[in-house]
Chains A and B, each alone.
Chain A
C-alpha cells in the first residue's frame, strides 16, 4: 500500500508540469492533418453586431477562422463550447472551403460522465455535413448509451453551427 501511494504521488508530481499549451498544439496538429500542409495562416472572421444578434452562435472574432496556406484558401475552423450534464466541454469543427464538415474533435472534456463523445468513430458521423442539414440525435447521429446528455448537446451545437453558417452564406459573409 505504501509503495502504491509513493508511485501515485510521484506520478502526480510529474504530470503537474504538463504545459497548458496542449490545446493550441492540438488545434495546429488537427488543421495540418486535415489539410495535409506543413504551414498555414489563420485569418479571423468578423461580422457586424447587427448580424451577430440574429445568429444561433455568436461569431466573436476569436472563434471562427479562415485557413490559408501560401494565399491558397484551404477551409475554415470553429472553436466551440457545449454544456454536458454539469460542465462545459471544448471542441473544434474544421470545414473545407465549401463549408462542408471535414473533422470534429473534442479538445477538453471536463466532467465525469459523457466523455465517450470524444470517440473518434462517433465524431466521424459529422463529417460531410453541410449547412442545409439539421441532424436528429439517434437518427442521423447514433446514440451513445451512458453519454446521452453530452451526445445530444454536441449534436445540438453542431446543428446551431450549421445554421449559423447557412445564414452567413446567405448574407454573403463567407
Chain B
C-alpha cells in the first residue's frame, strides 16, 4: 500500500508541479522517467444507479473501482495487480500474479488469478459488456469476480488460433469455524476465499480452451474440478465435490454482436453436507444466457448500442436426499437497454431488468438501472 501511495504522490506532484502549458511535457516526463519505466497504470470503474419498481428507494453506488498496476521487470518477467474498492469501503485484491514468459507460446503464472470460466470472469471490465450490471449467471452460477491463489500455465498456439490455460487453485471454502458456508440461493458464491488467508485441503484443477480461428467468432470451453476446502479435515461431510463445465461463444459481424454461455455445475456429497450444516445446497446448478446487440455508428468513435439479454439459471436444478428443490431459485431474467459509448473505454448505460422465478403466482420484479462504465 505504501508503494501505491508513493506512486500517487509522484503522479500528483508531477501533474501539479508544472503550469498548464507544460501539462503535455509533464505527461511525457512521467512516461519517460526512470521511476515509472516498466510500470503500467490502469483501472476500471462501474458506478450504478438501481431503482427497483415499487416502494423501495433507488440506490446510488460506486459498485467497483479498480486500480491496476503492472510492472515489467524484463522481456520475460512481469507482475500485475488489481486493487479493488467495492462500494467504496471494502478493499480487495482482485489479481496479483507474476508471469514468466518461458517461450513465446508458454507462460508460467503464480499468485492470485482469475478462474477462466465463461466470458465475464476474465473479461469483467464494464465497457466490455452490455448492461449496467454483469449478467446474473455470472453472479449466481459463476461467482464473479472469482479469483483464487494458485499456479498455472497459459499460452497461445498461433497456427491453431487457440489459447490454452491450466491452473491448480485452492478451492472454495465450504466449512469454517464449525459452520457451513455454501447455500442454495447463490451456490458457491460465499465460498470464495479471494486470497485472504486461504485454506487449502486439496487443490482444484481449472482449465480453458479458446478457439478464434473462424472470422468474427470466438468459442470457449472451460472446466473446473475438485473439492471444496475445509478448516476441519476430520469431518468428511464438511466438503463437497465440484465439477463445473462452461461453454461460451461470442460473434461479431459488421455492427451485429451476439454472445452466449452455458454453465453446468455438479456438486457431490451435498446430502451429507446439508445434514451436517443445516444448509440447503443444491446438487446441480445450471445457467445460460443469450445476448444480441447492434451498434449504430455515431460521429467519431461514438456508438449507440441497443441490446437484449435473456438469462435462465437455477441453483437448485437438482437436490440430493430429502431437500426439496426451492422454486424461487429457478429464475429467469430479461434485460434490455442502451449502451452509449462516448470514447474507447467510457460509456453511459441504461437498462431495464425483468426478474421471474418458477414459484407459481409470483410476480415479475422489475428494476431500472443506469450507470457509468470506465476502463483505461
Contacts and interface: CB of A to CB of B under 8 A. Distances in A.
B103 A118 contact: no
Interface in A141-156: 142-149
A142 B216 contact: yes
A18 B103 contact: yes
B102 A15 contact: yes
B323 interface: no
Interface stretch (B2-10, B138-146, B153-161): B153-161
A125 interface: yes
- The listed residue with most A CB atoms (<10 A of its CB), out of B210, B213, B215, is B215
Interface string A125-149: 1000000000000110011111111
A138 B72 CA distance: 31
Given A1-B203, A112-B80, A12 B108 contact: yes
B16 interface: no
B216 A112 contact: no
B370 interface: no
A15 B103 contact: yes
Contacts of B108: 8, 11-12
B123 interface: yes
A60 to B, nearest CB: 19
Interface in B76-125: 76, 80, 99-100, 102-104, 108, 122-123
A116 B212 contact: yes
B151 A122 contact: no
A166 interface: no
B322 to A, nearest CB: 39
B213 A115 contact: no
Contacts of A139: 254
Interface string B7-45: 000000000000000000000000000000000101000
Interface string A90-114: 0000000000000000101110100
Interface residues of B, number: 39
A120 interface: yes
A22 interface: yes
B70 interface: yes
A11 B151 CA distance: 14
Given A110-B75, A112-B80, A138-B254, A4 B104 contact: no
Contacts of A41: none
A51 interface: no
Contact of B213 (A16, A121, A146): A121
B203 A121 contact: no
B151 A8 contact: yes
A144 B168 contact: no
Contacts of A22: 104
A86 interface: yes
Given A110-B75, A145-B218, A120 B158 contact: yes
Given A8-B151, A87-B72, A112-B99, A125 B215 contact: yes
A148 B212 CA distance: 13
A119 interface: yes
Contacts of B151: 4, 8
A122 B102 contact: no
Nearest to B40: A86
Contacts of B254: 138-139
B163 interface: yes
B168 A4 contact: yes
A86 B36 CA distance: 13
Interface in A49-81: none
B161 A143 contact: no
A118 B102 CA distance: 17
A11 B344 CA distance: 40
Contacts of A120: 158-159, 161
Contact of B104 (A109, A142, A145): A109
Contacts of A122: 161, 212-213, 215
B252 interface: yes
Contacts of B163: 115-116
B291 to A, nearest CB: 12
Interface in B301-327: none
A148 B344 CA distance: 10
B42 A118 contact: no
Contacts of B215: 121-122, 125, 142
B40 A87 contact: yes
A100 B185 CA distance: 59
A11 to B, nearest CB: 7
Contact of A115 (B42, B156, B216): B156
Contacts of A110: 72, 75
8 contacts: A11-B102, A18-B103, A108-B75, A109-B156, A115-B156, A122-B161, A145-B251, A146-B218
Interface of B: 40, 42, 70, 72, 75-76, 80, 99-100, 102-104, 108, 122-123, 128, 151, 156, 158-159, 161, 163, 168, 203, 210, 212-216, 218, 250-255, 259, 344
